[in-house]
Structure 1
Amino acid sequence: MNVKKITTTTILCALLFVSFSSFSQKEELKYEVGTSAAISSKSTLPFWLVANQNGIAPKKNGERIYFGINKDYTKESGWDWTTGFDAAFSSTYSNKYALINQYYLAFKKNKIQFFVGAKNPEVELDGLSFTNGNLIMSGNARPYPKIEIGSTDYLNIPFTKGWFGVKAVLSNGWLIDHRYASHVNLHHKNFFLRFGKDKGLSLEVGIDHYAQWAGTSPTYGKLEGGLKAFAKVFIAKNGQVLTTDNGDSSNNESDNSLGNHVGQNQAKLNYNSDKFSLTFFMKNMFEDKSGEIRKIYNVRDIYYGLHLKLHQKKIINSFLLEYYSSLNQGSVEITPSLSVIGFDSYFNNGIYRSGWSNFQKGFGIPLISPTTIGADNSIRFANTTVKAFNLGFTGQHRNLTYLFKATMYKNYGQVFPVVEDRSLPVGDWVILRKYTVDPQEYQKHFLLELLLPQNKIPFDIQASIAYDSGDIYKNSLGLMLKFSRSGFISDFLKK
């Protein structure tokens, strides 16, 4: 008797189906259905018609059909639940099948949530950001299935009268696409503190940590897995020396940490009033042990942003400025005993050679994208060193809503150390930073979106115009037209 292998996706989709058929609050289920068509002056669409679209936007000129069902949380306190499922189809997809993107079920008691499934990240900063406010998980790739427990918002610390709050998340997920190393786990946790109340001035600080671990490598065989390995990953503890069938070895995980780790330190300074909200934020990405000793090695890669949001609808009601630099990525110093500290090469890894990608799209900043995809599903990010600036604003005039953003950046390729004069004693060496792309490549991306919501007409109409100019993406103008409709299923069935 043959037993078919049941995938994680199959189990979660079945669980989701049970949730739809078991709960009685059907009037709260919502639907969204839509279709879009895009065309450009080149064979591929401009950058902002594809990037940060959760991995399902077609790259080429063509159409897309979308369908989704979801139920949002509706209660501030007590028990509540949420669920969702969606799929998209385009004749431009390589597999010619519909992509099931989201499938999830979650329960919440007050602000504590238990989640299972795959869900797109929430749109942050009014959709104006080129990172969606997250350097590592920007919404550029398809979501991965996971089990997660954590808080959906800040929990007030007792006896502080709301002046101090805390929130945290712990999850483990699975990367189910075709990868160089198969059956890889993805661990995530974060922890944040808030000083101050929702209204007025407040400060938020915290850390986000992600790690790929376990699985099977075609080079090193079965990698450390199980509860003991998870404990090492949780505290970023050293792993074992990896050995190939030919006897070659790698000290990466024994000298560094078990798994492929990345993280970001974050700080936000907020001012909220009845009329507007103003936020200044900064984030600093790190990889492996560079995060532990950044004070010694002066890691200066930084992400800044300033976001202003007016609480009344105006010609301009949201404004964002962002700056990002990844020109350092570690130390140029000679550190024989800590060789793993050197240049980080964000989003790449020598063991998990599909890097920080999912279905061949980068998880992180879309400006740093896969440049080489091998037949063995190894993926190389060769443009990890960039300096970028982003400007965006939104507004409304009568029923018409618009969004505009302009992203400009220089690509330096990758950074590597060069010794100016090796004839000198090691202690007198002068280490220079060099980049693989010299002179640098300059690039600009623009996007204008116009949205007319369903009011007198029975559907939303959205027109998106995007333009690329520069050395990487050649001059290209693209247009996308989207028609969509959403509402409650109960209202739809009554008609």
Structure 2
Amino acid sequence: GYLFRLDPVAIPLTNNHLWIYGAYGDYATTDVRYMQGALVHRTQIGFRWTPGPRLSFDAMLDHYGMWAGESEQGRKMTINLSNYFRVVTGLHAGKDGTLSDRINVIGDQGGSEIFRMRYCGDRWTFTLQHDIPYNDGSGMGFQNFPDGVNTLAISHIDKKRWISDFVYEYHYTMYQSGPINGEKFDENGNSLTPPGTKTTGCDQYFWNGEYKSCWTHYGHIIGDPLILPTGIHEGTWTSAIMNISTENDRYIAHHIGVGGSLFRRHPYKLMLTYSDNHGSYHSGPYLGEDPKGKPWGTVKEKGLKQVSASFTGAIKLNAGGRRHISSHTELNLLYGLYADKGSLYEDSVGVTIGLKCSFF
């Protein structure tokens, strides 16, 4: 694939207060998928307003579209300029498209809308960000509020401090434009929806229509590690087989990350995540009553609780009391400690260790 990037460029006549940036690219999938040979398009566009030298505000759309490919059942999307234009612009499929692509948008299109505020002090940088996921038009129209990832990040210029970086994230993906979607169509795409029926809801993040392998790469979810492919909870998932759908995309989570240097010498990173997992509108909840088709808030939902943690870092090794083995070589001992405890995954503890030799 390829990716063209546009670094921030000041918009004329704004006195360097308004900037534009973005990206444009196309890629090919290489794993075994329900739609074999699917292609991926990306369009990113962002605007940055800088009222002063220290403060900035960003609004960005990061959009992805999965299209093309052919399924084992013979369903195929032709690669041509017409379909490519519809993917880039987020339009419906033409008359030759599948029913799903004709009533929604062509392919599987989603991404995130990001709003960010950043303040850069003399030694500290503070960042606040709201990241809204979407997987169809209702999400792009903010009908899935309050879903999103809310982030607070604090970073110090001195990375040798015991604590130089801190991040807190609050994840919420429960609503998905609501649990009711009464939209109906016949086999020709003609609407059978009764007047006054709610036609947005049950967004089902990370997959749509014919693209049942979802946003995965060799079975691993791309973009959000807390959204899970089918088979994780039952222990049947493996990256060696074709993934079909997701089993968990409705969850509430808190994530904390801390980074710094031990004794001002050895870098480390600590990450802790607590999640309350509720399955999906498509495959149903893990526990209790299914909220799909019922008014929002009328079902008392129960989820599977999970805590995951990791502590990773590097110990800079001395040779003969010297910082480097030689004037052009440095040796580091890499380590990692990992743990899962809860009802979603099997309880586990893991350890990694390695050596890294750098030449410069």
TM category (shorter chain) comes to: 0.7 to 0.9
Paired position in structure 1 for 2:311: 448
Q: Is the 8 A contact 2:207 2:215 kept in 1?
A: yes
Residue 4 (structure 2) aligned to one of 137, 149, 152: 149
Q: Deviations over 1:213-268 (max 9, x none)?
A: 1111223532132111110111111114678xxxxxx5210011111001111011
| CA RMSD, 1 decimal | 2.5
- CA distance in 2 between counterparts of 1:265 and 1:402 reads 31
Corresponding position of 2:156: 310
Cross-structure match for 2:260: 395
Q: 2:180·2:202 contact (CA, 8 Å) conserved in 1?
A: no
Equivalent pairs counted in the alignment come to 323
Label 1:419 to 1:322 Cα distance change in 2 as closer, same or farther (>3 A): closer
Bigger fraction of residues in helix: 1
Matches within 5 A, 1:43-192: 146-151=1-6, 153-192=7-46
2:298, 2:138 → 1: CA distance? 17
Name the stretch that deviates more: 383-392 or 450-459: 450-459
Distance 1:263 1:388 in 2: 20
Q: Tell me what 1:351 maps to.
A: 210
Matched, 1:381 2:249: no
Supply the distance in 1 between the matched residues of 2:348 and 2:110 (Cα, whole angstroms). Answer: 34
Shift of 1:445: 0.8
What's the CA shift for 1:380?
2.2
Partner in structure 2 of residue 404 of structure 1? 270
Any residues of structure 2 matched to 1:194-205 within 5 Å, and which?
A: 194-196=48-50, 199-205=53-59
Tell me the TM-score normalized by structure 2: 0.82
SS of the equivalent of 1:270 reads strand
Distance in 2 separating the partners of 1:174 and 1:433: 43
TM-score with structure 1 length normalisation?
Answer: 0.61
1:166–1:191 Cα contact (<8 Å) kept: yes
Amino acid at match of 1:461: L
User: Closer, same or farther in 2 for the Cα pair 1:201/1:376, shift >3 Å?
Assistant: closer
With 390-399 and 351-360 compared, the bigger mean Cα shift is at 390-399
Question: Tell me, what secondary structure is at the counterpart of 2:214?
Answer: coil
Q: Per-residue deviation at 1:299?
A: 3.1
User: Which one has more relative contact order, counting CA pairs under 8 Å at least 6 apart?
Assistant: 1
Shift of 1:345: 1.4
Matching residue within 205, 225, 228 for 1:369: 228
- SS of match in other structure, 1:291: helix
- What residue is the counterpart of 2:145 in the other structure? 299
Q: Is the 8 A contact 1:255 1:340 kept in 2?
A: no
Match of 1:276 among 105, 124, 136: 124
Identify if the C-alpha distance between structure 1 residues 229 and 198 changes in structure 2 by more than 3 Å, giving closer, same or farther: farther
How far the C-alpha of 1:418 sits from its partner, in A, is 4.5
Which residue type is aligned with residue 411 of structure 1? N
Q: What are structure 2's unaligned runs of at least 5 residues?
A: 184-192, 232-236, 282-289, 318-322
Large movers: runs of 4+ above 6 Å: none
Q: What SS does structure 1 have at the residue aligned with 2:138?
A: helix
Report the secondary structure of 1:264's partner residue.
strand
2:82 maps to a residue whose letter is: K
Distance 2:265 2:296 in 1: 58
Q: Is the Cα–Cα contact under 8 Å of residues 242 and 251 in structure 1 kept in the other structure?
A: no
Counterpart amino acid of 1:189?
Answer: T
Q: 1:159 to 1:268 in 2, by over 3 A?
A: same
CA distance in 1, matches of 2:141, 2:291: 19
Find 2:179's aligned residue among 326, 332, 341.
332
Q: Is the Cα contact below 8 Å between 1:241 and 1:252 reproduced in 2?
A: no
One-letter amino acid of the counterpart of residue 223, structure 2 = G
Work out whether residues 219 and 243 of structure 2, in 8 Å CA contact, stay in contact via their aligned partners in 1: no
